[in-house]
Each structure stands twice: as structure tokens, then as C-alpha cells.
């Protein structure tokens, strides 16, 4: 068995199977997310948006095309794109196409 010392106390290493068995043996409230549960509550932080053009983190959304962009250069690129390319970017992202 693997052991490690932390602050003068010996800690034994536990396998995932041991952790899950220990979780099942304790009385938990029904809404508590456990190590073994897949369904966890949604994150409190908003999801990050990434630029449809470069893949960088996007701070802006073009109101006309609904594409995400990171800087002014990308904005000019977004505005110059034809509508079929814009529709392709939106479908790749899984967004609804507002143009047509």
C-alpha cells in the first residue's frame, strides 16, 4: 500500500474503487454531486465564447451576422464574408442561422 506523509500524518493512497465504495456507504443528501455521478449542476461561470474566424477567445459578437470575433481586424473580415460562408460558420457552431 502506498503512503505519503503530510504534516506528520500518514495518508494512505486510495484507488477509485475504494473512493466510490466509501461514498456509497455515507448518507448524502440527494442533490449532492458525488465523485461517481455524471449529472452535476451547471457551472455558475458563463461559457467562454471563441472567435469563429481565429479560434481566439472572443469578447465581441457582430449583431448583424451573430458571429463571434476577437478584434477589429476580424470584425472587418466578418463583415466582408458572403452569407453562405456566414451560414457555414454558424452551422459549425450549432447556432441558428439568422440570415436566411
Q: How does pLDDT run across 39-83, given as a tens digit for each residue?
A: 677 889 998 999 999 999 999 999 999 999 999 999 999 999 999
d(CA 100, CA 93): 16
d(CA 57, CA 71): 10
2 and 50 inside one domain: no
Cell of 7: 504534516
88 and 59 inside one domain: yes
Residues spanned by the domain of 14: 1-41
Q: With pLDDT > 70 as the criterion, what percentage of the chain qualifies? A: 84
4 and 36 inside one domain: yes
48 and 97 inside one domain: yes
19 and 52 inside one domain: no
Q: Enter the pTM of the model.
A: 0.57
Amino acid at each position: 500500500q502506498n503512503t505519503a506523509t503530510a504534516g506528520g500524518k500518514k495518508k494512505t493512497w486510495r484507488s477509485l474503487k475504494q473512493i466510490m465504495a466509501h461514498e456509497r456507504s455515507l448518507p448524502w443528501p440527494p442533490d449532492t454531486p458525488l465523485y461517481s455521478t455524471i449529472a452535476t449542476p451547471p457551472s455558475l461561470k458563463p461559457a467562454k465564447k471563441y472567435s469563429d474566424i481565429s479560434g481566439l477567445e472572443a469578447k465581441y459578437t457582430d449583431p448583424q451576422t451573430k458571429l463571434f470575433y476577437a478584434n477589429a481586424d476580424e470584425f472587418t473580415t466578418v463583415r466582408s464574408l458572403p452569407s453562405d460562408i456566414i451560414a457555414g460558420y454558424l452551422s459549425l457552431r450549432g447556432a441558428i442561422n439568422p440570415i436566411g
